[in-house]
Amino acid sequence: MSKQHRRVIIIGAGAAGIGMAVTMKTFQLDDVCVIESGTIGHSFKNWPKSTRTITPSFTTNGFGMPDMNAIGKDTSPAFTFNEEHLSGETYAEYLEVVARHYEIEVQTETHVHAVNLVDGVYELETSQGMFTADYLFIATGDFAFPNQPFEHGIHYSEVTDFTELPGKAFTIIGGNESAFDAAIHLAQQGAEVTIYTHSTGFNAEEADPSIRLSPYTQQRLRKAVQEGASITMKVHYQADAIDFRDGQYAILFTNGEVVYSQTEPIIATGFDVTRNPLIQQLFTVNEGEVSLTDLDESTRYPNVFLIGATVRHADAILCYIYKFRARFAVLTHAIMQREGLHVNPDIVEEYKANQMYLDDYSCCGVNCSC
């Protein structure tokens, strides 16, 4: 079987994968390939139809503030689609447009079956043959790995469209963005919705939008309630199990209470990236978090990096595009230095000027006085 060698292989063609490839292209780091098991923006295409980006898009690039949902400093979903909060389908189209414009090499419908380190080179056994690389970037995201700890219940990511779910009353397990998004859509269709959660970002004191419920969701929630939507939230409820009894669902909580639901409970408990076989093989996982060096590199394998929304460093949570895109140029710069390649200082300054060169995690604290 012939081998196709690339200097860099990026696994995953979502926002992180395409964004990383675009950055490498602008730095003139050549021989980069993106491998994707589905199509470009595959996870975004699987979003519920009613779901929208909670970060707003606005074309402010000319003032050193790129569109918050942009993956490259010279692109803007707002400019391309004239929308502020994009659907998953539209965002996937944006990624396709960007990949095409920058002529990114993307191998779609290519499943990675195994990764092996052989004599300092990574060998990837895929459904389209063998690929080899000197550097690997894992950009598989977390949407394909829902956190569903119960025997029953439909996870948020499995819902095609919340506005089309039949039923007059719904129970939601979880207390953050996806839980409230589901609740708003269902309540606006006239259903009674009850949210059960052990904690919530609804009234969090933290200013960090990775913890606090977003203004977009808060605004939609207020409007829905003002228009008569029935949404009740019960905090300090930790669901322990969900059974199906006599034609209805029984939700058992650790405090001993049992709640019954005629409709299948909606599980909005987020995602578990540690279920990803690639993460399990290439990285060390401690207490549900992926261990990384300060350069987002695996602590187990050299030249293997994690990029995207799953990157965590102490209090720095990079779960939004405008956060994790700021690492692309830093990692590109680091690789070129390892390879002894010339780095154009003007390009580095361009990324810094556009707030897309985060090389110090200590500056990521979010504090607001009012």
The pLDDT of 293-315, averaged and rounded, is 93
Asked if the model's pLDDT at residue 196 lies above 50, the reply is yes
Provide the pLDDT for residue 335: 97
Q: pLDDT of 39-88, one tens digit each?
A: 999 999 999 999 999 999 999 988 889 999 999 999 999 999 999 999 99
pLDDT tens by residue, 84-97: 999 999 999 999 99
C-alpha 240/C-alpha 50 separation (Å) is 29
Is the separation of the CB atoms in 81 and 90 below 8 Å? yes
Count of CB atoms situated within 10 Å of the CB of 22: 24
pLDDT in tens, 117-158: 999 999 999 999 999 999 999 999 999 999 999 999 999 999
Mind giving me the DSSP string for 15-30?
HHHHHHHHHHHHTT--
Average pLDDT of the segment spanning 188-204: 93
Structure tokens at 88: 């998953």
Mean of the per-residue pLDDT values for the chain? 94
E strand intervals along the chain:
3-11, 32-35, 106-107, 112-118, 121-126, 129-138, 154-155, 169-173, 192-197, 230-235, 239-245, 248-253, 258-261, 266-267, 285-286, 289-290, 304-306, 312-313, 316-317
pLDDT band at 368 (very low <50, low <70, confident <90, very high): very low
Confidence of residue 361 (pLDDT cuts 50, 70, 90): confident
Q: Does pLDDT of 2 surpass 60? A: no
Tens digit of pLDDT for each residue in 158-168?
999 998 899 99
pLDDT value of residue 1: 41
Task: Compute the average pLDDT of residues 304-317.
Answer: 90
The predicted structure's pLDDT at residue 364: 66
pLDDT digits (tens, 9 = 90+) for 319-332: 899 999 999 999 99
Q: What is the pLDDT of residue 360?
A: 86
Q: What's the predicted TM-score (pTM) here?
A: 0.94
Can you tell me the distance from the alpha carbon of 16 to that of 11, in angstroms, rounded to the nearest whole number?
Answer: 10
Has residue 348 got a pLDDT over 50? Answer: yes
Residue 204's pLDDT is: 80
Partner residues linked to 354 by β-bridges: none
Number of helices (H), then strands (E), in the chain = 10, 19
Residue 366: predicted pLDDT = 57
Instruction: Name which of 239, 271, 233 is nearest 254 in CA terms.
Output: 239
Q: What is the DSSP string of 171-215?
A: EEE--SHHHHHHHHHHHHTT-EEEEEES--STT-S---TTTSPPH
Residues 200-251 have pLDDT tens digits of 988 888 778 888 999 999 999 999 999 999 999 999 999 999 999 999 999 9
Q: pLDDT value at position 363? A: 65
pLDDT at 365: 61
The pLDDT value recorded for residue 296 is 96
